[in-house]
Chains A and B, each alone.
Chain A
Amino acid sequence: MRSLLALVVLALPCAAEVAPERAKALEHMVIQDCGSCHGLTLKGGLGRALTVDALAPADAEGLALIILDGVPGTAMPPWRPLLTEEEAMWIAHYLKKD
C-alpha cells in the first residue's frame, strides 16, 4: 500500500505551473468553495484548519492527492472532476505558502 502511494505521488507533476488567469480563479475557489467547509479564512469549519501552521507537517504532494481524491468516508470530496493535477499542486503550494 505504501509503495503504491509513493508511485502515485511520483506521478504528480513536481512544479505547479498554471496560467495567471487560472491562478486567480483557483485562489477564488480556495477562499470561497473550500472556504464553505474550511472557513473563508481557512481556520476550520466542518473541515479542519488549512492554515500554514496546520499544514506544516504535510508535504505538498500528499495534500494535492487529498484534494484530488478526497478523504473517503468523510465530507472531503474528490476535486479531480474539476481540477487538473497541476492545479491541485498549485493549490497545495498556495495553502502551504511555499
Chain B
Amino acid sequence: MKRALKLLALLASPVWASPVWAEVPCCATGDLGLVIERATGTLLVVDRSDRAAVGKVEGLGDLSHASLTYGPDERFAYVFGRDGGLSKVDMLTRKVVARTVQAGNSIGGAISDDGKLVAVSNYEPGGVKVFDADTLALVADVPAAGKTIGLVDVPGRRFAWTVWDTGEVFLGDFSGAEPVITPLGNAGKNPFDAVLTADAHTYLIGLFGEKGVTAFDLWDAAPKPVKFLQDYGKTEDDLPVYKMPHLQGWAFTEGQYVLPAVGAHELLWVDQASLAEVARTPVHGQAVFIIAQPASPFVWVNFATPLNDVVQVIDSRTHQVVKTLTPGKAVLHMEFAPRGAEVWISSRDDNKIVIYDTRTLKVLGEIAADSPSGIFFTARAHRTGL
C-alpha cells in the first residue's frame, strides 16, 4: 500500500522533479560513440565525457572491416558490415531498428548531406546501392564493372565512387526523381581508396596498381582527372603492403595533403595548390591511417602488420616525427574528440581502447573492448566526406 502511494505521488509530480528521471538514460547523444568489435560482431557504445563503455549492440552480422556513419540528429547510426548487411542502430535504446542484407560483400558507405539517403559501396556484386535512411528501403541500384571503393557524400544529395578493377570514377546525383549518374573519367590502375576534402572541393583517389594519386575538382562543372605524385619511390624496390592504406582520414594541414606512400615506409607531403611534392617523412612502417589532430599542426599515423603496435605523431610544419607511442598490440584506428583534446586508439590484440591527452600525450584512461577496430564519435554526423 505504502508502495502504491509512493508511486502515485511520483506519477503526480512533474517528471523532471522526480528521482526516477535521473535514472532514465540520457537522451543526448552528442558525446557518444560506437566502437566496432570485430570478433564478436558487436558494437560498444562509449561515452566520451565519462571515458567509459555504456552499452552494447548485438545482432549486426559479420563486422570485420565494418564502418558506420550517423544521421543528422546523431541518434541513428548506419552500420556497413563486411557481409553486405546494412543496419540502422538507435543510440538511445542500443537496438538494431532496421536491417537489410543488401549484397554479398560490402566495404563501406556514406549518408547524403540532408540525411535522407544512405549509400553502400559493394564488392560482390560490385556497385552502389542507395537506401531511404528512414526505412532502409532500396531507392536506387547502380551496378559497376567491379568492386566499388572510395564512396563519399557530395553536397546536394550526391555521392562519388570509384571502381577498383577498372579505375572508373562516377558522380551520382540522387536529388531528382531519377538518379543521374555521370562518369567522370579514369583514375588509373587499381584505385584502393578515395577521400573528399572537407570543403567538398577535391576528390582524391589513391592508386595501388601504379604510382600516384588522382584528383578531381568537384567544384568544376566538368571535373577531369589530374594525376600527381607519379614518380615517388619508383627507383627503389617496393616493400610488401600487408594492409591497404585507408584514405578516410587523409590529412590536410598547412596547405598540404599528407599521403601514405604505398609500398614504402614514408609519408608524402604535397602542396595543395601546385600538387607538387614538398617533403617526405620516413616513418615506422606502411602507413594505414593518417589523421589530422583537429585544431593543431599535428597528424597521427598508424601502420600495417607486423609493425602495427606503434603510433607516430608528426608536425606538419617541420615534417618531423615528434613522438612515437606504443598504445598496444595491433592498433587499428584512431578517433579524435571533435576539438582535438583527446585521441582514442583501438588496440585489437590487447582488447582495449587507449585514450590519450593530445597535449601531454599522457594516457587518460582505457576501456576494455573485444577485438576493437573502428571508433566513431557521433560528431561525424556533421562532417562532409566521412
Contact = CB atoms under 8 A, between A and B. Distances in A.
Interface of A: 28-29, 32-33, 35-37, 39-41, 43-46, 70, 73, 75, 77-79, 81-82
Contacts of A45: 65, 82, 105, 107, 123
* Residue of A37, A39, A46, A70 most packed against chain B (CB within 10 A): A46
Nearest to A70: B240
B348 A46 contact: no
A46 B123 contact: yes
Interface string B49-85: 0000000000000101100000000000000001100
A37 B242 CA distance: 9
Interface string B180-213: 0000000000101000000000000000110000
Contacts, number: 63
B384 interface: no
Q: Is the interface of A mostly helix, strand, loop or mixed?
A: loop
Interface residues of B, number: 27
A91 B147 CA distance: 27
B266 interface: no
14 contacts: A32-B349, A39-B65, A40-B39, A40-B62, A41-B62, A41-B64, A41-B82, A43-B83, A45-B65, A45-B123, A75-B208, A77-B242, A79-B240, A81-B240
Given A32-B330, A39-B65, A44 B242 contact: no
B208 A44 contact: no
Interface of B: 38-39, 62, 64-65, 82-83, 105, 107, 123-124, 147, 164, 190, 192, 208-209, 240-244, 305-306, 330, 348-349
Nearest to B371: A32
Contacts of A28: 349
B209 to A, nearest CB: 8
Contacts of B243: 33, 36-37
A77 B243 CA distance: 9
Contacts of A37: 243-244
B164 A46 contact: yes
B124 A44 contact: yes
A21 to B, nearest CB: 15
B65 A36 contact: yes
A75 B64 CA distance: 19
A75 B190 contact: yes
A79 B244 CA distance: 15
Pick the most buried of B82, B123, B164, B306: most chain A CB atoms within 10 A of its CB.
B82
Contacts of A79: 240, 242
B241 A44 contact: no
Given A36-B64, A37-B244, A45-B82, 13 more contacts: A28-B349, A32-B349, A35-B64, A37-B243, A39-B65, A39-B82, A39-B105, A40-B65, A45-B123, A46-B147, A46-B244, A75-B208, A75-B241
